Amino acid sequence: MTLVKLDFSKGLLPAIIVDNQSQEVLMLAYMDETAFNKTVETKETWFYSRSRNEYWNKGATSGNKQIVRSIQYDCDGDTLLIKVDPLGPACHTGERTCFFQSVELEGGEESEAPGENQTIYSDLMEEIEDRKSTPVEGSYTNYLFTKGIDKIAKKLIEEAGEVIIAAKNNDKEELVSETSDLLYHCLVLLAEQGVALEDVEAELRKRSSKKGNAKKERPDIQKCSRRPTCSPTPSPRNGRPTTSRTGWSCSRVASRCCRSMRRWSMRCMRGASASRSRATARSSRPKASTGSASAPRPARPGCSSADRN
């Protein structure tokens, strides 16, 4: 079989951009040989704008870059199929894909609505954000929003500890359950702070694009240099200044949370280890014969049976 080479003599070649993970078609743009070579060289998508008559790098302005994973072309050598890891929406409207509109055909099968193929995380995040904007009486999510960041952070710490305990106990069913609780509370925290799930996905894609990132190559973690922003207020009882919790900065809240988490997790792990040790000791303890009287407990050194009684 004779392999066909790319033929740029026909002018601009259409380039179909596909999400490398979901295989979803993201957009269609055009490349000439120069744009193609820039794409191969930089491993980011470059196109030629027919309306502006200039080259453009996807995401150069918006930050929604596309990291190229593979490039294929068709049997005629005049159409490109490029798989990428997107670092944000592909469409200028903010939609994940440019193909989010559909044409209804009479008598045809019902087409999949835009966004119907999104993950459970997106579905859950939408419901959480809906609870935030439209409270529902008796909703646990609304209870967390009402209590605020302190309550949400406390629940997050508790669920993280439960995940650790389930893992230490090698309980897969409990680990799945507790991890689900942890992820749910993480999403509630994101919604409370106004952080979109897409921002986290974009950060994860950005990190996944860096292969072979050895630990020694990572920058040192800098401690937070900000001081607590609490404002002292006079105590109503003795006139001494006290600090309101509403003014705590990240350094104080984070340090208290981390200390509490470490203490609580260590207690839980020690308790889990002790429980396993007791269970092992019980299982290895010899059982008395059926019908026989239990052996008398041996006396302590220096004591007689009479002393014990």
Residues 6+ apart with CB under 8 A from 230: 243, 244, 245, 247, 248, 249, 252
Q: Nearest to residue 87, comparing CAs of 112, 68, 115, 110?
A: 68
- The Cα 174–Cα 163 span in angstroms is 8
pLDDT of 262 above 70: no
pLDDT at 132: 92
What Å distances lie between residue 80 and 63, 72, 278, CA to CA? 23, 6, 65
Q: For the chain, how many residues are written?
A: 309
More confident residue, 48 or 221: 48
- The Cα 288–Cα 284 span in angstroms is 13
pLDDT at 261: 60
CB burial of 261-284 (b: ≥16 within 10 Å; e: otherwise) equals beeebeeebeebeeeeeeeeeeee
- The Cα 103–Cα 25 span in angstroms is 17
**Crossing angle between the packed helical segments 149-168 and 172-193, to the nearest 10 degrees:** 160
- The Cα 192–Cα 154 span in angstroms is 14
Least confident stretch, 133-137, 196-200, 271-275, 294-298? 294-298
CB–CB of 276/270 below 8 Å? no
CB–CB of 113/107 below 8 Å? no
Indicate the average pLDDT of the chain. 77
Which residue in the block uniquely carries the two structure tokens 């509490």?
A: 260
Instruction: Return the percent helix, strand and coil in the chain, to nearest 5.
Output: 45, 15, 40
Mean pLDDT of 182-188: 95
pLDDT of 268 above 90: no
pLDDT of 14 above 90: yes
Mean pLDDT of 244-258: 48
pLDDT at 120: 83
Q: pLDDT band at residue 68, thresholds of 50, 70 and 90?
A: very high
- The Cα 60–Cα 40 span in angstroms is 16
* Burial category of 135 from C-beta neighbours within 10 Å (exposed 0-12, middle 13-18, buried 19 and up): middle
Least confident stretch, 20-24, 198-202, 296-300? 296-300
